[in-house]
Structure 1
Amino acid sequence: MEKVAEIIAEASAEAVEPRFRALASGEVMEKAPGEVVTVADREAELIIARRLRELLPVPVVGEEAVAADPALARALHAEPAVWLVDPVDGTANFVAGHPDYAVMVSLVRDGRTVAAWIRQPATATTYTAELGSGAWRDGHRLNRTPAGTDPAAWRGSVKSRFLDPARRRLIEANADAFGGLTAGRHAAGIEYPDIAEGATDFILYWRTLPWDHAPGSLLVAESGGRAARLDGTSYRPEAPGGEDGLLVAADPATWERCREILFAP
């Protein structure tokens, strides 16, 4: 666990942090409509992937590598063990000079996330989680306090960008039942730790790219929360284009009540 934490901290210090608020002309590109990538993303992923393979020689499924060759994501289902890498989570924030971005890695065995690392460079904070062993922030154990029983006191967000119009209208109308609803922080590597730490109580995602959600879902689950598909099955990382919808909450009871409220006809 410590070695991977070192790898992502060093890659961030070498390829990412020097470019924060210092990106040169031509170092930001559009890789898909509405989605940007930077030289920092690409260089950090190459560094991290090389060093992870040296540590454990299994396939590396990196966000930028998959953008260039989508077939690489098949390893999630075809291989017994896979590294997942998100070299700069929250790239749009990073480009805008906003500190809400992260560097993330997870290890998947037999389709299940077994270890996770989230580095938040702006605060030099590292979150780790290991299946069955707990969640940690810089060596301090995380134990999420339940959110309570009153939805009007809960704080959370609904990611509605990829929802179909009918479902978006339904969920946005039902979300009035909650006390504090925001648009989120536009980086899973910030939003999942916020739930694990108690800053927020729930979040509904729709599109669930594996490198975005494998690390944080394990962090939340190991701190006492729940991250599950809308049918109640625990989250497992899938290749892009797989199942949509993921509800994350402070504790199992809050998860159940959130789902009931958000999808009530």
Structure 2
Amino acid sequence: MDKVAEILAEASAEAVEPRFRALAAGEVMEKAPGEVVTIADREAEAIIARRLRELLPVPVVGEEAVAADPSLAQALHDEPAVWLVDPVDGTSNFVAGRPDYAVMCSLVRSGRTVASWIRQPATGTAYRAELGAGAWRDGERLTRPPAPADPAKLTGVLKSRFLDPDQRRLLEANCSAFGEISPGRSAAGIEYPDVTEGRFDFIFYWRTLPWDHAPGSLLLTEAGGVAARMDGAPYRPEAPGCEDGLLVAADPHTWELTRGILLGT
């Protein structure tokens, strides 16, 4: 666990942090409509992938590698163990000079996330989780604090960008039953710790790319929270496009309450 944390810290220090608010012309590219990638993403992923393979020689499914060759994500289903890497989670924030970005990876065995690491370079905060062994922030054991019982006091995030218009209108209307609703911080590596530590009580995501959600979902569930599909199935990392829709919440009661309100049931 410590060695992987070191790999992320060193890759961040070498390829990511020196370019924060210092990206040169030509170092930001569009990889898909509305989505950017930087030289920091690509260099950090190459460093992390190489060193993770030295540590445990299994396939590495990295966000940028999959952008270049989508078939690489099939390893999540075909291989008994896979590394997942998100070299700069929150790239749009990073490009804009906002500190809400993270460097993340996780280890998936037989379709389950068994270990995860999140580093927030702006603060130097490091999170990690291990299946059945707990969640940690800088060496301190994390336990999700209780959420309010009154839905009008719950705070949450609705990530509605990829919903179709009818679904978006329905969910946004139903959110009036809650307290404060935020659009989020545009980085799963910031948002999942926010739920884990009590700054939000729930988040509804639609698109669930595995490198975004595997690290944080394990962190949250090991701290006592819930990460599940809307039918109640526990989150498992899937190749892009296989499955969407994910509700994460402070605890089982909050998850059930939030799901019922969002769906109007």
TM-score by length of structure 1 reads 0.99
**Aligned residue number for residue 256 of structure 1:** 256
| Deviation (angstroms), 1:166 | 1.2
> Equivalences for 1:103-182 in 2 at 5 Å?
103-182=103-182
**Aligned residue number for residue 22 of structure 1:** 22
Correspondence 1:228 to 2:228 = yes
Deviations 1:163-184 (A, max 9, x none): 1111111100000011010110
Amino acid at match of 2:126: T
Deviations 1:67-98 (A, max 9, x none): 00000000000000000000000000000000
Amino acid at match of 1:194: D
Q: For this pair of structures, how many residues does the alignment match?
A: 265
> Equivalences for 1:48-63 in 2 at 5 Å?
48-63=48-63
**Aligned residue number for residue 188 of structure 1:** 188
2: CA distance between counterparts of 1:120 and 1:69?
27
Deviations 1:168-204 (A, max 9, x none): 1110000001101011000000000000011110000
2: CA distance between counterparts of 1:105 and 1:194?
18
2: CA distance between counterparts of 1:26 and 1:99?
21
The CA RMSD over aligned residues, in Å, is: 0.6
Which segments of 5 or more consecutive residues in structure 1 lack a partner in the other structure? none
Deviations 1:222-249 (A, max 9, x none): 0010000000010000000111100000
**Aligned residue number for residue 65 of structure 1:** 65
Correspondence 1:198 to 2:166 = no
Amino acid at match of 1:259: R
> Equivalences for 1:36-55 in 2 at 5 Å?
36-55=36-55
Between 1:43-52 and 1:155-164, the stretch displaced more is 155-164
Deviations 1:20-50 (A, max 9, x none): 0000000000000000000000000000000
Deviations 1:89-123 (A, max 9, x none): 00000000000000000000000000000000000
SS state at 1:11 partner: helix
Deviations 1:137-169 (A, max 9, x none): 000000011202101111111000011111111
**Aligned residue number for residue 247 of structure 1:** 247
Amino acid at match of 2:188: A
Which segments of 5 or more consecutive residues in structure 2 lack a partner in the other structure? none
**Aligned residue number for residue 209 of structure 1:** 209
Amino acid at match of 1:254: T
2: CA distance between counterparts of 1:151 and 1:93?
30
